[in-house]
Amino acid sequence: MLKVPEHQVAGRQAIDGKLGPLIDNSGHFYKPLQDDDERGTRELTFYHSFSSNTRIPHHIRRFFPVFHGTQLLKASDRSGLRPHLVLQDITSDHLNPSILDIKIGSRTWYLEASNDYIQNCFHSDKTTTTVSLGFRICGLQIYNESGFWKPGRKLVRNFTADDVRSVLRKFVSSNVGPEPDCCFAGSVYGGCDGILERLLELKTWFEDQTMYHFRSCSVLLLFDKESFLRGKTPFAEVKLIDFAHVVDGNGVIDHNFLGGLCSFIKFVSQVLADSKGSTMEDKI
């Protein structure tokens, strides 16, 4: 039985007869290959290249969803059979995952793209935090006692630097009100299994790898309070998703992704540092 993903926070959704991804109960995520542009083909090419690439270290492979090939499935827009990428459903192990989808990089376009595409991206990049911060939040859901807080796309698109800081605090808080308590910051962002350590691992790889340039690719942060309270590991995860715009690195590092990632790391570090500061103050 295929169904619409419950925890999708960004991208095209399989609702109202539109084309979008589907999931099953066995932990698979089915992403339709679109025929209106080259995105699907490029993403499939990337997964094939990445899967068979022996130069990818094991600890880096963990950041990517497992790829199970392609499968012909009835598309969600009822247009009939269509090839789908079969990927790991990252959220399937989690009950009520809080999720942040962060598009990394201070530009989402690439020289090989069409002029129209470049102009569209250039505009979006300038009017979101992409240019100023080197990344933008594309979507999110944060679980709290009253359910999920999931702001609409327009609201998310208009996020400022301060909104981003606020979201990063709420993500690790027991409350999502104006004064988030950041009570999970130390465990979720900090520590040797925390998100910050994972991001630094990724950064080290990006300082060196010259194989792929990840345009318009997202880092997905996933944190599950239930798993945390039950002592399940990992209760926080970092994954890379969306490879429809990956281009050849041609022997150059992905300085656009790396710069944005470093900026995001600084934001997370600051929330972590501030939360330690406030905990200290509370104790005094």
Q: Pick from 73, 113, 240, 262 the residue near its own copies by CB under 8 A.
A: 262
- 211 phi/psi in degrees, rounded to 5: -90, -45
74 binds its own copies (CB under 8 A): no
Q: Helices marked H in the chain — which ranges?
A: 39-52, 58-61, 115-127, 130-133, 153-157, 161-170, 185-188, 195-206, 225-229, 255-283
Cβ-based nearer residue to its own copies, 97 or 260: 260
Cβ-based nearer residue to its own copies, 65 or 134: 134
Is there a contact between 13 and 31 (Cβ–Cβ < 8 Å)? no
Site for its own copies in 179-208 (CB under 8 A): 207-208
60 binds its own copies (CB under 8 A): no
Cβ-based nearer residue to its own copies, 164 or 241: 164
33 binds its own copies (CB under 8 A): no
Phi-psi region of 227 (alpha: psi -120 to 50; beta: other; left: phi over 0): alpha
Q: Pick from 85, 133, 137, 241 the residue near its own copies by CB under 8 A.
A: 133
What is the longest distance spanned by two Cα atoms in the chain?
65
Distances (CA, A) of 254 to 38, 43, 109, 257, 273: 21, 17, 13, 6, 28
117 binds its own copies (CB under 8 A): no
State the minimum distance, in angstroms, from the CB of residue 271 to its own copies: 12
Cβ-based nearer residue to its own copies, 48 or 255: 255
CA 34 – CA 238 distance, rounded (Å): 26
The number of residues that bind its own copies (CB under 8 A) is: 25
134 binds its own copies (CB under 8 A): yes
Q: Pick from 192, 252, 280, 284 the residue near its own copies by CB under 8 A.
A: 252
50 binds its own copies (CB under 8 A): no
Under DSSP, is residue 241 helix (H, G, I), strand (E, B) or coil?
strand
State the minimum distance, in angstroms, from the CB of residue 99 to its own copies: 23
Is there a contact between 223 and 97 (Cβ–Cβ < 8 Å)? yes
Cβ-based nearer residue to its own copies, 203 or 239: 203
State the minimum distance, in angstroms, from the CB of residue 160 to its own copies: 11
DSSP character at residue 62: T
Cβ-based nearer residue to its own copies, 15 or 161: 161
CB atoms within 10 A of CB 243: 25
Cβ-based nearer residue to its own copies, 17 or 251: 251
Cβ-based nearer residue to its own copies, 7 or 107: 107
Name every residue whose Cβ is closer than 8 Å to that of residue 5 and which is 6 or more positions away in sequence: 14, 21, 22, 23, 29, 89, 91
123 binds its own copies (CB under 8 A): no
255 binds its own copies (CB under 8 A): yes
User: Which H helix or E strand runs over 149?
Assistant: strand 147-149
Residues that bind its own copies (CB under 8 A): 106-107, 111, 122, 126, 131-134, 161, 207-208, 210, 250-253, 255-256, 258-260, 262-263, 266
